[in-house]
A and B are shown apart, each in its own frame.
Chain A
Amino acid sequence: MSTIIKLTDVSKIYRTKTIETQALDSVNLDINTGEFVSIMGPSGCGKSTLLNIIGLLDKPTTGTVELCGRTAEGLKDKALARLRNETLGFVFQSFHLIPTLSVLDNVTVPLIYRPGSRNNRKLALEALDKVGLSHRVHHMPSQLSGGQAQRVAIARAIVGNPSIVLADEPCGNLDSKMSGEIMDLLHSLNREDGRTIVMVTHNEDQARATDRIIHFFDGRRVE
């Protein structure tokens, strides 16, 4: 299997005038295509920072990030945006649906930033069908339950057919029943579509159900 995510000696230091915090310390990480990986660790250990760096939402202080064989080092903002759009889908703990857009328009968001993208509506409807929400297309986010909102967020994450889905505690705001549904959905995306999924979680049961668990502590990978 080929490596789809490769982090080499990645460190992240947050500096203020008075304090310096090492969020990640020389992290090396290889994730293969089609893997479902969980990242676990106590709060403040650098899990989310790692996910942000993999998602090109934040830049490492040192080290390199490669996605799908393309290095992110030295890329300008526009190129980074393009790489995010083409290769990554995000699922956030608090859903982050845009409250002023309908379900359908929320799912369409990644496509409108893709040059030359056509049939946006059709693709968005297919994605919503996949997450079982084709009957809610014209609803507004405020009219959805938590589980439904996260399903919409997942539809938005996969609508552009990215190779990698990054999920930051996707069930963190959901009850156990809804969490189960969301996890089933993520597993089916991994199994059926072959998507690589990297998920940050505090839930050991959810983590055990994935292919690999990576533990973090104080910004370092621990075995």
Chain B
Amino acid sequence: MIATHIRQAWQLLRQNKLFSTIYIVGTALAIASTTIFAIIYYVKLTPVYPESNRYRMATIDRVEQKDDWSSMQSSLSYSSIGQFKNNLKSAELISAYQRLWGGNRMTFNDGRRDRNVTLRPTDTAFFKIFNYDFLAGAPFSDVDFESGVRKAVISDRLAEEVFGSVDEAVGKTVTVDFRKYDVCGVIREGSAINRHSFADVIIPYTVFDNYAGNNDPDTYTGKYKILLLTDDLPAVQAEIKEMERKYESSHPGKELNFWNQPQSAAIDALGIDPVDEDFDLGKFVRYNFLVLLTLLLVPALNLSGMIAGRMESRSGELGVRKSFGATDGSLMSQVLWENLILTVIGGAIGLGLTWITLSTDATFVLSIIGEKWFDFNSAATVRLTPDMMFAPAIFLFAFGVCIVLNLLSAALPAWLALRRPIVKSLK
């Protein structure tokens, strides 16, 4: 029976070219717009390269320190990194990187124009938290880090742009903010959507003279972000609370506040403010699901109107089928199947549109939809690799959206048409 439905859907498609084209284009646009969001969230939330430890990763972004006269919120101090390493026993690995404000300029001495780069001053644990593919060379070592040697790991895209190829880069020098760095490794670039792991140039933060700030153990505010790996996030959060309690008991009149940090990488990627201690993930997901449904409802209503018109013209057919023994259920199933075929064709085109658009200029597309992925002032363009765009989850999502769109657009007109008495349908 399904084969007959498919044959008929194909005939309907051929015989009603205008209807089919409008329907398919409408569906394609709806699928494309929702799939772009799906790809962004897929890249943000699942363990894509190089964030393969994402389900175990957590972040500490901000701290608040206040007393009777002042209050300060900012990133974390160098000394706090040591405090975390001493106190967070449930964290398997802790890394920190400096948050830089303002653009970082790469300059060339061969007449080429300067360019912005995303510079990531960090430590060696950074390369254990993120599993970068080293296409050439290796990360800077613990000794390099401790001694503040100016070494740099650069992205393959930058290596190709600056040196012509990945293989040529190691051993050469790059100049960022008028400091020269010896390239020690080249990594396969991740996506700029992932603001922690993405970088054009990764260097030891110890190259900066003032990397330790005042190094006062009682000062928690500074310029670092903390990344950690753990299998027991609540335990780490409890350990942080204990740090707060100890600080406040030994510093009467002062307050230290990490809110509900560390946040899981997922919560962090969703841009949830750590200050929002009442945040409810379930509510957030439900809300966004409703937003998605509402977004789909608009094209679904348009498509529904078109289908209602077509059901009117197919009224006789429904009457004939009922005369020969079709039940309302079997006819509803037929209409949904036929429509699903059109929707799936639209969905496939929508997926294709998504891929073409994102492959051509993902940065532009994401800027249109207001997606903020830049942590720093950078010339980074968003690269989405095939494993991100062609992930089975994306196919499943797109197919799911097709089903929802199909049900939303076809079920009501079909139901209304099927309620009509057979005799009226046959007139």
Interface of chain A residues 128 through 156 with chain B (CB within 8 A)? 140, 156
Stretch at the interface among B221-229, B232-240, B320-328, B343-351: B320-328
B336 → A minimal CB distance (Å): 16
For residue B11, CB closer than 8 A to chain A, the reply is: yes
Complex Cα–Cα for A114 and B12 (A): 24
A81 → B minimal CB distance (Å): 5
B277 → A minimal CB distance (Å): 56
Which A-chain residue is minimally distant from B421 (CB atoms)?
A58
B261 → A minimal CB distance (Å): 60
Stretch at the interface among B1-9, B197-205, B380-388: B1-9
Stretch at the interface among A35-43, A91-99, A175-183, A205-213: A91-99
B330's partner among A92, A101, A113 (CB-CB below 8 A) is A113
The answer to whether residues A105 and B8 also contact, given A52-B423, A57-B426 and a CB cut-off of 8 A, is yes
The answer to whether residues A114 and B325 also contact, given A57-B426, A96-B426, A98-B317 and a CB cut-off of 8 A, is yes
A101 in contact with B11 (CB, 8 Å): yes
For residue B15, CB closer than 8 A to chain A, the reply is: yes
Interface of chain A residues 40 through 80 with chain B (CB within 8 A)? 52, 55, 57-58, 77-78
The B contact surface, by secondary structure, is helix
Interface of chain B residues 300 through 343 with chain A (CB within 8 A)? 316-317, 319-330
B328's partner among A77, A112, A140 (CB-CB below 8 A) is A77
B422 in contact with A113 (CB, 8 Å): no
Q: Which residues of the other chain, A, contact B327 by a CB distance below 8 angstroms?
A: 77-78, 81, 113
Size of interface on A: residues with Cβ below 8 Å to B? 31
For residue A85, CB closer than 8 A to chain B, the reply is: yes
A90 in contact with B324 (CB, 8 Å): yes
Complex Cα–Cα for A112 and B320 (A): 13
The answer to whether residues A101 and B8 also contact, given A58-B422, A92-B426, A112-B1 and a CB cut-off of 8 A, is yes
The answer to whether residues A85 and B324 also contact, given A98-B317, A105-B8 and a CB cut-off of 8 A, is yes
Complex Cα–Cα for A88 and B322 (A): 12
Complex Cα–Cα for A82 and B326 (A): 8
For residue A108, CB closer than 8 A to chain B, the reply is: yes
Complex Cα–Cα for A58 and B426 (A): 12
Q: Which residues of the other chain, A, contact B319 by a CB distance below 8 angstroms?
A: 96
Q: Which residues of the other chain, B, contact A96 by a CB distance below 8 angstroms?
A: 316-317, 319-320, 426
B294 → A minimal CB distance (Å): 34
B4's partner among A57, A78, A85, A108 (CB-CB below 8 A) is A108
A81's partner among B316, B320, B322 (CB-CB below 8 A) is B322
Q: Which residues of the other chain, B, contact A78 by a CB distance below 8 angstroms?
A: 327, 329
For residue A84, CB closer than 8 A to chain B, the reply is: yes
A100 in contact with B11 (CB, 8 Å): yes
Interface of chain A residues 110 through 133 with chain B (CB within 8 A)? 110, 112-114
For residue A109, CB closer than 8 A to chain B, the reply is: yes
Which B-chain residue is minimally distant from A153 (CB atoms)?
B320
A109 in contact with B324 (CB, 8 Å): yes
The answer to whether residues A84 and B328 also contact, given A92-B426, A100-B12 and a CB cut-off of 8 A, is no
Complex Cα–Cα for A52 and B426 (A): 11
The answer to whether residues A84 and B7 also contact, given A57-B426, A58-B422 and a CB cut-off of 8 A, is no
Number of A-B contacts (CB under 8 A): 77
Q: Which residues of the other chain, B, contact A109 by a CB distance below 8 angstroms?
A: 320-321, 324
A57's partner among B11, B330, B423 (CB-CB below 8 A) is B423
Which B-chain residue is minimally distant from A52 (CB atoms)?
B423
Binary CB contact string for chain B from 395 to 427 against chain A (1 if under 8 A, 0 otherwise): 000000000000000000000000001110010
A82 in contact with B323 (CB, 8 Å): no
The answer to whether residues A99 and B15 also contact, given A105-B7, A108-B4 and a CB cut-off of 8 A, is yes
Q: Which residues of the other chain, A, contact B326 by a CB distance below 8 angstroms?
A: 81, 113
Q: Which residues of the other chain, A, contact B1 by a CB distance below 8 angstroms?
A: 112
Complex Cα–Cα for A20 and B423 (A): 18
B8's partner among A81, A84, A86, A100 (CB-CB below 8 A) is A100
Complex Cα–Cα for A96 and B321 (A): 10
Complex Cα–Cα for A125 and B358 (A): 52
Q: Which residues of the other chain, A, contact B11 by a CB distance below 8 angstroms?
A: 100-101, 140
Which B-chain residue is minimally distant from A78 (CB atoms)?
B327
Instruction: Select the residue from B323, B421, B423 with max chain A CB neighbours within 10 A.
Output: B323
B51 → A minimal CB distance (Å): 50
A116 → B minimal CB distance (Å): 12
B325's partner among A84, A101, A105, A108 (CB-CB below 8 A) is A84
Complex Cα–Cα for A44 and B408 (A): 42
B423 in contact with A58 (CB, 8 Å): yes
B4 in contact with A105 (CB, 8 Å): yes
Interface of chain A residues 11 through 43 with chain B (CB within 8 A)? none
A113 in contact with B426 (CB, 8 Å): no
A90 in contact with B15 (CB, 8 Å): no
Q: Which residues of the other chain, B, contact A99 by a CB distance below 8 angstroms?
A: 15, 317
Interface of chain B residues 1 through 43 with chain A (CB within 8 A)? 1, 4, 7-8, 11-12, 15
A144 → B minimal CB distance (Å): 15
Complex Cα–Cα for A160 and B330 (A): 18
A113 in contact with B324 (CB, 8 Å): yes
Which B-chain residue is minimally distant from A166 (CB atoms)?
B323
Which A-chain residue is minimally distant from B327 (CB atoms)?
A81
A binding-site residues for B, Cβ under 8 Å: 52, 55, 57-58, 77-78, 81-82, 84-86, 88-90, 92, 96, 98-102, 105, 108-110, 112-114, 140, 156, 160
- Give me the 10 closest cross-chain CB pairs, A-B, nearest first: A85-B325, A113-B325, A100-B11, A110-B324, A57-B422, A96-B320, A81-B327, A113-B326, A112-B1, A90-B323
Can you name 7 A-B pairs with beta carbons within 8 Å? A58-B422, A84-B324, A96-B426, A100-B12, A100-B15, A105-B7, A109-B320
Known: A98-B321, A100-B317. 20 other contacts (CB 8 A): A55-B323, A57-B322, A57-B423, A57-B426, A77-B328, A81-B327, A85-B325, A96-B319, A96-B320, A98-B317, A105-B4, A108-B4, A109-B324, A110-B325, A112-B1, A113-B321, A113-B325, A113-B327, A114-B325, A156-B324
